[in-house]
Amino acid sequence: MYSAAAAATAAASPPRRDFISVTLSSEEVAVGAGGYNNSKAWRRRSCWRKWKQLSRLQRSVILFLFAFLAVCGVISYTSMGEPWKSLTSKLSDNQRSEPEIPGLKLANPAVLPAPQKADDNPGDYPELSPQKPPKPPHVRRGSSNLQIKPPRKNVRLNTRHDSSRVVEELVQADKEEKTEKSVISWRGAVIEPDQSTEPPSSKKKESEKPSSVEAEDQKEPVPINDRQMAVIEAFRHAWKGYKEFAWGHDELKPLSKSYSEWFGLGLTLIDALDTMWILGLKEEFEEARKWVANNLVFDKNVDVNLFESTIRILGGLLSTYHLSGDSVFLEKAKDIGNRLMPAFKTPSKIPYSDVNIGRGTAHPPRWTSDSTVAEVTSIQLEFRELSRLTGDQKFQKAVDEVMKHVHTLSGKNDGLVPMFINTNSGQFTHLGVYTLGARADSYYEYLLKQWIQGGKKENELLEDYMRAIEGVKQHLLQRSQPNKLTFVGELAHGHFSAKMDHLVCFLPGTLALGAHNGLTADHIKLAEALMETCYQMYAQVETGLSPEIVHFNLHAQKGHKDVEIKPADRHNLLRPETVESLFYMYRFTGDKKYQDWGWEILQNFNKYTRVPTGGYTSINNVQNPSNPEPRDKMESFFLGETLKYMFLLFSDDIDLINLDKYVFNTEAHPLPIWVPA
Ligand code: DMJ
C-alpha cells in the first residue's frame, strides 16, 4: 500500500508515458485510516473500476511485474525445495525417533540433527572413509549371498587367558584376508568365489541353485568373543584326546586312552570337519582333510546303519564341501551315497536299517523286518542335496518316495506317527505308541526342514508338520508341578506318560525355525515354554547336566521338584538337543538369557565330563557331583553338534551360518537352502 501523500502527489501530476502512477481513491485512503467497508461485492467492483481506469501501458507493466514475480517464485522454490524437504524429513525423523510414551512428556526435548548417511555428501569429508556402523545383533541383513570365511590364520589358544591375544590374531588375520578378496579358502588352494557351489554335473537343474556359498560375502566378520573362545578351547581339548588316542577311529575312549569302532570310518573326525571350519581351526582342519583324502575308504566289508552314516558321514562331507569348496569332500560324499543305495531295495521301498557298504547288500536288524520311522524319514535332506549336486536324481527319488508313502499311511494319530514301519508291507507297526523322543523325533524335524530346503514349495511336508504339531498340542502337552513347566510326554494306547527324553529338546528350536519361516506365531510361544523346560532339565539336577530321560511330576508333593529321574535314566551322553534349541531361540529372539543358559551348561560339561588328559566323557550319574561316574566314551556328536551349536549360540553374527541360507541336518551339518534362480 502506498501512503496518502504519495497518492496525492501522483494525482496532481499529469500522466507521463514513461512513469507508472498508481492512483488511490479517497475511499481507499479512508480504509487505510480505519473506515472499513466489508462488502465483498463493493471491493470487487471498486478494484475492477480502477483496473479499467489504468492505461494499457500501465496494465501491461503490472501484468509483466506479476509474471516476473511468479517466475522468480518458481525458480527459488525449486532451488530451495531439496534442502527444505530434507530438513523437514530430518525433523520428522527426529520426531519419530522419540517414542511416544503415554503420560510422559520430555521437559526439554533434545533437538539433534538427524544422523547423516555416509553417502549423503561424500565430498564434504574427504579425509573420512565411509564407515560401516557396528552391526547390531539380530538385525536381519539383506539377502546377499555369502561364504563362511574362517580366519586365514589358525586360532591359537592354550589357556583361557590367551583370549585377548587370540582376538588380536583374528583381527590381524581378517585384515590380511581383506587384501585377498578373490580367495575364499584359507586352506591353501585358491578358489574362485563361484567355484565352490558349482556341481560337477551339467545335469543340475538350473532353477534350483543354493542360496549360499555362491559368492563371497564381503562383510566384516564379527570378532570372536570370550565365550566362543571357551568353546574353541573345549573343542581343542576334545580334539587333543581324539588325535592322541583315537585318530582315524570312530570314537575316543578318553579314560582308557583308546578308541571304539562302530563303522570303522573315522566317525568323530568326519562329524567334526565342519565344526573346525566354523570355529576357524585351520591346522586341525588341514590335518583332518588329509586323512579324508588319503585314508577314508568306504570299500570295506562292514555293516553300517543307514541313518547314522547318512546324517554323520554323508551330511558331514556335504556340508564341509559347501563350506570349504574342496571337491575331495564331494567325491567322498558321492562314494558313500552310492554305497548306501542298496538299502532302498526292499519290497516296499522303505529302506532297511543296515547296509554292507563293501558288498552292496542291505538287511533289517536280525530280530525284525521293521525299520525305525525316524531313521527312514531323516535321511532326506542329505540324499536330496546329493542329487542336486551330482545331477543324479536317483538319490532324491528314493528318499522322496519314502516321504510320499509315509504321508499316505494310516495309523497316525492327528499327525503323530508310530515308531516302526515294516520294510515288506510298508505299514506302520507297533501302533498306538506316540512320542517325540527316540525313534520318532527327527521325522518331525525333517518335515519342516525338507520344506525349507526345497524353497517352501512341497505342501505335503508342511501339511504333515502342521498337523503333527497340532497332534502334539492335543495329546502330548502337559504342565508339571510345582512350577507348571510345559513338557511333551508320551502316549501309549491311550495312556499318557509324563516321560520326556532329552532328545525331545530339539523341538523348541524346530518350532522357532518354523515360526521364523512364517508359520503360526503361537509356535514361538510354545518354543519359549519348552525351552524353559529343557533348561530346567539341567538346572534342577545336582550337576547342572540333564539326564537322558526325565519324568515330570503332575501333582504337587512337598519337597518334590518338577523333574524326577529314574536310576536307569540318569546318564548324560553329551547330547546337543538343548544347546541346539538355545541357539535357534537366541538367533530368533535375541534374548541373552538363552546365551547365559548355554554358558552354564558348557561350564558344567567342563566341570563334570572333561578328562584332564584330553577329551570329554559321557557320565552315568548326573545326580552325583562328587562322582558322576565317567563312562569312558566321547560321542562323535559332541564335536559335530554340541560344541558347534555352543559356538553359534554365543555368536552375535547372524551370517555365521545364516538360517535363511542354510538348514542344519539332524547332526548339525548345515546344507544350503535351495532357492529358485
Ligand atoms: C544325533 O546323532 C542326532 O542329533 C540325532 O538326530 C539324535 N541323536 C544324536 C544326538 O543326540
The tens digit of pLDDT for each residue in 404-463 reads: 999 999 999 999 999 999 999 999 999 999 999 999 999 999 999 999 999 999 999 999
For residue 367, how far is its CA from the centre of ligand 1 (angstroms)?
23
3-state secondary structure of 616: strand
Q: Which triple of cell numbers denotes residue 321?
A: 564341501
Q: Whose CA is nearest to atom 2 of ligand 1?
A: 667
Task: Give the closest residue to 394 by CA, choosing from 402, 386, 405.
Answer: 386
Residues at the annotated binding site for Ca(2+)?
666
- Cβ–Cβ < 8 Å for 641, 668: yes
Dihedral of CA atoms 404, 408, 409, 415 in degrees, nearest 10, equals 100
44 occurs within a structural domain: no
Task: Please tell me the total count of domains within the chain.
Answer: 1
What pLDDT is attached to residue 117? 30
Distance (Å, whole) CA 676 – CA 210: 8
Minimal-distance CA residue to ligand 1 atom 1:
667
405 close to 349: Cβ distance less than 8 angstroms: yes
The reported pLDDT for the residue numbered 662 is 98
- Look-up: residue for cell 540333564? 546
CA of 652 to the centre of ligand 1 (A): 25
Question: Separation of 638 CA from ligand 1 center, angstroms?
Answer: 10
- Active-site residue list: 308, 441, 548, 577
- Separation CA 468–CA 48 (nearest Å): 85
Look up residue 340 and give its three cell numbers. Answer: 548306501
Nearest 5°: CA angle at 507, between 504 and 513?
160
In eight-state DSSP terms, residue 352 is P
Q: Which of 378, 441, 503, when mutated, tests ligand 1's pocket best, judged by the most ligand atoms within 8 Å of its CB?
A: 503
Element (H, E) at 242: helix 226-245
- Nearest residue CA, atom 10 of ligand 1? 575
**According to the model, what pLDDT value does residue 213 have?**
46
Ligand 1 neighbours by CB, cut-off 6 Å? 442, 503, 575-576, 637, 641, 666-667
Helix (H) or strand (E) holding 31: helix 26-33
Helix axes 380-390 and 327-340, enclosed angle (nearest 10): 120
What atom in ligand 1 is closest to the CA of residue 575?
11
What does the alpha-carbon distance between residue 316 and residue 671 come to, in Å, rounded to a whole number?
A: 9
pLDDT for 69: 75
Question: What's the pLDDT score for residue 393?
Answer: 98
Listing DSSP states for 466-532 in one string gives HHHHHHIIIIIEEE-TTT--EEE-EEETTEEE-EEEGGGGGHHHHHHHHHHTT--THHHHHHHHHHH
Ligand 1, residue 503: give the atom nearest the CA.
Answer: 11
Cα of 178 vs centre of ligand 1, distance in Å, is 38
- Going by CA atoms, what residue is nearest to atom 6 of ligand 1? 666
Looking at the DSSP bridge assignments, the partners of residue 552 are 563
CA–CA distance, 386 with 199 (Å, rounded to integer): 10
3-state secondary structure of 140: coil
What's 505's domain CATH number?
1.50.10.10
Q: Is 82 exposed, middle or buried (0-12, 13-18, 19+ CB in 10 A)?
A: exposed
Whole-number Å distance between alpha carbons of 483 and 408: 40
Neighbours of 54 (CB within 10 A): 16
C-alpha Rg value of the chain to the nearest Å = 36
Instruction: Report residue 380 as a C-alpha cell.
Output: 532326506
Q: Can you tell me which residue has the cell 548345515?
A: 670
Domain membership of residue 380 as a residue range: 234-264+369-672
CA gap 335, 351 in Å, rounded = 18
- The 10 Å CB-count burial string (b at 16+, else e) for 611-640 is beebbbbbbebbeeeeebebbbbbbbbbbb
Ligand 1, atom 11, lies closest to the CA of 575
**The three grid cell numbers given for residue 175, joined into one nine-digit string:** 585384515
Question: In whole angstroms, what is the distance from residue 406 CA to residue 4 CA?
Answer: 101
Q: Residue 222: is it exposed, middle or buried by C-beta count within 10 angstroms (0-12/13-18/19+)?
A: middle
**Cα 510–Cα 511–Cα 514 angle in degrees, nearest 5:** 90
User: Which cell goes with 566?
Assistant: 529314574
CA 580 to ligand 1: nearest atom: 4
Phi-psi region of 324 (alpha: psi -120 to 50; beta: other; left: phi over 0): alpha
Q: Evaluate whether 197 touches 214 at the Cβ level (below 8 Å).
A: yes
Instruction: Please give the helix or strand (H or E) that residue 675 lies within, else none.
Output: strand 674-676
**DSSP state letter for 641:** I
Q: Which residues of the chain have pLDDT under 50?
A: 1-43, 76-216, 677
Which helix (H) or strand (E) covers residue 245, if one does? Answer: helix 226-245
pTM over 0.85: no
Cα(340) to centroid of ligand 1, in Å? 19
Buried b (16+ CB within 10 A) or exposed e, 83-102: eeeeeeeeeeebeeeeeeee
Considering the domain boundaries, does residue 197 fall inside one? no
In a domain, 620, yes or no: yes
Could you write out the DSSP letters of every residue in 5-17?
A: HHHHHHHHSPP-T
Instruction: Specify the 3-state DSSP secondary structure of 422.
Output: strand
Counting ligand 1 atoms within 8 A of each CB, the residue from 275, 309, 577 with the most, and so the one to mutate, is: 577
| 391 occurs within a structural domain | yes
The dihedral over CA atoms of 114, 117, 118, 121, expressed in degrees to the nearest 10, equals: -90
Where does residue 33 rank: exposed (0-12), middle (13-18), buried (19+ CB within 10 A)?
exposed
CA dihedral 50, 54, 58, 62 (to 10 degrees): 20
Residue 454 lies in a domain: yes
Burial class (CB in 10 A: 0-12, 13-18, 19+), 590: middle
* Residue indicated by cell numbers 512513469: 19
* 371, 364 contact by CB (below 8 A): yes
* Interatomic CA distance for residues 60 and 56, integer angstroms: 6
Quickly list DSSP for 567-580. GGG--B----HHHH
Euclidean distance between CA atoms 643 and 576, whole angstroms: 8
CA-to-CA dists, residue 632 to 261, 574, 576, 610, 618, angstroms: 14, 12, 18, 11, 7
- Name residues whose C-beta falls within 8 Å of residue 425's C-beta, 6 or more positions apart in sequence: 347, 348
Q: Considering the domain boundaries, does residue 181 fall inside one?
A: no
- Written as one letter, the residue type at 338 is N
Q: Rounded to the nearest 10 degrees, how much is the dihedral formed by the CA atoms of 229, 231, 234, 238?
A: -130
